[in-house]
């Protein structure tokens, strides 16, 4: 690694591609002859308008987003989406949620403030270590949408097949898997992702919403800023947006396009995940925490035989230059987040370290 950087296995904010950081550094003091940094630039300037438009255009190309979907850049990170989804999509006042871990629980708790929530499937019975069967959910006819967290960052599960929503709208929190594999946008009514896991700096979410779901007639209590239509009507420039995040995310979209798009990225991610899971499957000291068929390619939680040994591994790994391997406080153990920007060499180096650690236990 250049510049004395470490392999950062954080669940978010997370690593960004080195090439992108270098480009940003090169443009820091004077963005393309504008005489200023993007951070200093008016969001109404020509230069920034081009940055925003290019970011959207490149994301559209990357995900092959159909023309009847709008792309929005909204502040408030991922968490604001827990409220915006029910505020904007509950017409009949009923949301169906699949409960697969901490992030879907947060979405459920927030949605309950605005309407009725039906938990139509859950994996709480086995500590959220799997994705429940979603082929025949009991969805009331009046339900406004079915909501999933497509990759549970803390628990390390992912949907390898989308739920059967029986004709109802599908809403997905893709925060920790956004742009990690090809995605058929038309399968969804709304996709949102906090960008600090797989794309750029914290504080913003990308929202991809089907145009016909934008509404004028929201309840009076909904703040102007929290109506998706506000952002759609103003090209995400209703107020001063998170210009810096839009700029950095745009760079990452460009980078992904230049490196073969999402098919190529998915292949790289599959390779990295295979290195890690092969190791876990063959280890007698470390154990993966997730049912095999539901494993995430992005977040890999695992444990040793005891809490004390979990902590000892984390300390030894940190000393060896592998950062942020401690599992989330709600589940313990260890977790390696191996997002798009984690190089394969980083995963190989960590696995090598863990193998040696294991060998030294005997
Ligand atoms: C991180 C995360 C969030 C919350 O994002 P913030 O920007 O911190 O609010 C929501 N959902 C998932 C799946 C996440 O990983």
Residues 178 and 277 in one domain: no
Residues 278 and 153 in one domain: no
Ligand 1 pocket: which of 76, 131, 153, 205 to mutate (most atoms within 8 A of CB): 153
60 close to 161: Cβ distance less than 8 angstroms: no
Residues 209 and 294 in one domain: no
CA-to-CA distance for 191 and 170, rounded, in angstroms?
A: 8
Residues 105 and 249 in one domain: yes
What is the residue range of 133's domain?
Answer: 20-258
Residues 207 and 329 in one domain: no
Residues 277 and 330 in one domain: yes
Instruction: Summarize pLDDT for 72-81 with one digit per residue, the tens.
Output: 999 999 999 9
Residues 234 and 291 in one domain: no
CATH number of the domain residue 69 falls in: 3.40.640.10
Question: Whose Cα sits closest to atom 10 in ligand 1?
Answer: 78
Residues 175 and 277 in one domain: no
Instruction: Establish if 1 belongs to a structural domain.
Output: no
CATH number of the domain residue 301 falls in: 3.90.1150.10
**Distance (Å) from CA 79 to ligand 1 centroid:** 6
Instruction: Establish if 243 belongs to a structural domain.
Output: yes
- The tens-digit pLDDT sequence of the chain (362 residues) is 889 999 999 999 999 999 999 999 999 999 999 999 999 999 999 999 999 999 999 999 999 999 999 999 999 999 999 999 999 999 999 999 999 999 999 999 999 999 999 999 999 999 999 999 999 999 999 999 999 999 999 999 999 999 999 999 999 999 999 999 999 999 999 999 999 999 999 999 999 999 999 999 999 999 999 999 999 999 999 999 999 999 999 999 999 999 999 999 999 999 999 999 999 999 999 999 999 999 999 999 999 999 999 999 999 999 999 999 999 988 889 999 999 999 999 999 999 999 999 999 97
Catalytic residue among 105, 197, 229, 251: 197
Q: Ligand 1, closest atom to CA 154? A: 15
pLDDT in the model for residue 243: 98
Query: Domain end: 239, 258, 277, which one?
Result: 258
Residues 36 and 171 in one domain: yes
Q: Is the pTM of this model over 0.75?
A: yes
Task: Give the number of domains in the chain.
Answer: 2
**Who lines ligand 1 at CB under 6 A?**
12, 77-79, 103, 149, 153, 173, 175-176, 194, 197, 202
Instruction: Summarize pLDDT for 317-341 with one digit per residue, the tens.
Output: 999 999 999 999 888 899 999 999 9
């Amino acid at each position: 690694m250049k510049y004395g950087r470490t392999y950062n296995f954080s669940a978010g904010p997370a690593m960004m591609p080195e090439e992108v950081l270098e480009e940003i550094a090169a443009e820091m003091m004077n963005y393309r002859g504008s005489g200023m940094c993007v951070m200093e630039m008016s969001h109404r300037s020509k230069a920034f308008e081009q940055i925003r438009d290019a970011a959207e255009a490149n994301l559209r190309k990357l995900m092959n987003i159909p023309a009847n979907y709008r792309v929005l850049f909204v502040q408030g990170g991922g968490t604001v989406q827990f409220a915006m989804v029910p505020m904007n999509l509950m017409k009949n006042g009923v949301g169906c949620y699949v409960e697969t871990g901490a992030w879907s629980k947060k979405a459920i708790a927030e949605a309950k403030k605005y309407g009725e929530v039906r938990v139509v499937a859950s994996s709480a019975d086995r500590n959220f270590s799997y994705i429940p069967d979603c082929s025949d959910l009991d969805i009331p006819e009046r339900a406004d949408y079915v909501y999933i967290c497509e990759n549970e960052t803390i628990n390390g599960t992912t949907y390898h097949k989308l739920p059967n929503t029986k004709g109802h709208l599908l809403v997905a929190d893709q925060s920790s898997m956004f742009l990690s594999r090809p995605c058929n946008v038309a399968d969804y009514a709304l996709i949102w992702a906090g960008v600090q896991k797989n794309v750029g700096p914290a504080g913003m979410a990308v929202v991809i919403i089907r145009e016909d779901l934008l509404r004028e007639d929201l309840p009076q209590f909904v703040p102007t800023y929290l109506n998706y239509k506000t952002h759609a009507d103003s090209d995400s420039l209703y107020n001063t947006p998170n210009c810096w995040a839009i700029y950095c995310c745009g760079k990452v979209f460009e980078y992904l396009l230049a490196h073969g798009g999402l098919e190529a990225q998915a292949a790289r991610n599959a390779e990295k995940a295979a290195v890690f899971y092969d190791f876990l499957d063959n280890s007698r000291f470390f154990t993966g925490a997730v049912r095999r068929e539901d494993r995430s390619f992005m977040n890999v939680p695992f444990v040793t035989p005891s809490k004390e040994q979990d902590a000892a591994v984390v300390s030894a790994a940190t000393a060896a230059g592998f950062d942020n391997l401690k599992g989330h406080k709600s589940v313990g153990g260890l977790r390696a987040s191996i997002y798009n920007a984690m190089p394969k060499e980083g995963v190989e180096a960590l696995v090598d370290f863990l193998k040696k650690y294991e060998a030294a236990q005997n």
